[in-house]
Amino acid sequence: MPPAKERTRRIQRRAPRDVSKTRIGDVARAAGVSTATVSRALTFPDRVQAETRERVLAAVRELGYIPNSAARQLRAGSSRTVLVVVGPRRNPPFFSEVLRGIDVALSQAGYAVLMGNLDSIDGKEKYLVDLVFGGHIDGALVLASTVPSHAGRTIADSGLPIVGICAETDVPGIPAVVVDDEVCCRAQTRYLLDRGHRHLAYLAGPRGNYNERHRYAGFQAEIAAAGLGADDFVRFEGNYDFASGVASGRAFLALDRRPTGVVATSDEMAIAFMTTIRRGGLKVPQDVSIVGFDGIEFGDFVEPTLTTIRQPRFELGSTGAALLLAMMRGETVPDRLTMLKGALDERESAGSVIE
């Protein structure tokens, strides 16, 4: 694998402001409303007309205003609590070790962790946004592509220090710690190509997902480098979970011409796929070779054991937490995507094409 790297990105970022110098009156004047309207727009956004609310939020972002309660907490650091936001449908086998890395780093620094999931529960994102604007949180780690938002405002609009982990967020200027998905997926694909596989299957993550975009780009780049094209692989849609691995396995068994090598973009999908096709009468790796992505513990206990890309899960969590701690101390943090490297763990599920 290539060495770890950091990819510098040009991102617009406000210069740090002294929160004590921007008052609610400044926001009111900039938005052309009363201070009471500003307060309502930030505290009870549903009670303010959408056009007015957007003017207020635009002024908040432009001036770098932090509501008084949040400003007091940020100055005193008295809450000693960090919000950890996990995206919807995130698989516990993978994130358990990431969360352990976060917890170890933050607890050693004297911070407690408050968990929040971006699931479909009504009012959940509103609760998280209100929690942040109420000044009860010192910083946030977002393990998702989207930052919690409600009624046109996000937790980033509060001025809260935020770091993304495992994915780049949808708010410009938020640093993130990720694995180089493209390089890792190229390594998966190359491993199979080097062993004579010329007809592949690709088990995808959700379309539009940050990690899926980069992994699929790596897969396609390696396919092209080998002189292969769209007719030389089959793509199965998935969601990084066991259920989509089962569905892909059933679809694979129904093919008239089956690929000999499978690139799975999560271990959960790889394990479920492998179990499904074995129940369908195929042998792994004699008939089909499979390479997973993540390095979860389950891969060590299936038969055959899973060849996979092992992500540095604990390091992802601890590195992101360390970056957030630096931001909360007021240190200058560079605007960039910090790339960590994965490692190919060669086990028993992938082999050479048998003529």
The answer for residues whose C-beta is within 8 angstroms of residue 74's C-beta and 6 or more apart is 19, 66, 135, 138, 159, 160
pLDDT of residue 90: 61
Q: Quick one: average pLDDT of 111-128? A: 82
pLDDT of residue 61: 80
At residue 39 the predicted structure's pLDDT band, cuts being 50, 70 and 90, is confident
pLDDT of residue 280: 97
For residue 340 the two structure tokens come to: 């960590």
Q: CA–CA separation, 131 vs 303, rounded Å?
A: 46
At residue 58 the predicted structure's pLDDT band, cuts being 50, 70 and 90, is confident
Residue, of 305 and 129, whose pLDDT is higher: 305
pLDDT of residue 120: 62
At residue 314 the predicted structure's pLDDT band, cuts being 50, 70 and 90, is very high
Residue 64 confidence (pLDDT) above 80:
no
pLDDT of residue 87: 81
Residue 292 confidence (pLDDT) above 80:
yes
Supply the mean pLDDT for the chain.
87
Nearest to 92 by CA among 255, 310, 302, 267: 267
User: Minimum mean pLDDT among 59-63, 76-80, 87-91, 273-277: which range?
Assistant: 76-80
The three-class DSSP label of residue 292 is strand
pLDDT of residue 98: 96
pLDDT of residue 135: 83
pLDDT more than 90, % of the chain = 60
Which residue type sits at 197? H
pLDDT of residue 234: 98
| CATH numbers and ranges of domains, the chain | 6-52+76-179+314-340 (3.40.50.2300), 181-311 (3.40.50.2300)
Q: Quick one: average pLDDT of 132-148? A: 90
Count of residues in the chain: 355
Q: Quick one: average pLDDT of 312-329? A: 95
Q: Quick one: average pLDDT of 75-101? A: 81
At residue 348 the predicted structure's pLDDT band, cuts being 50, 70 and 90, is very high
pLDDT of residue 9: 32
The three-class DSSP label of residue 337 is strand
Q: CA–CA separation, 292 vs 312, rounded Å?
A: 15
Residue 169 confidence (pLDDT) above 60:
yes
Residue 16 confidence (pLDDT) above 50:
no
pLDDT of residue 66: 65
Residue 67 confidence (pLDDT) above 80:
no
pLDDT more than 70, % of the chain = 88
* β-strands 336-340, 6-8 pairing: antiparallel
Nearest to 160 by CA among 48, 21, 67: 67
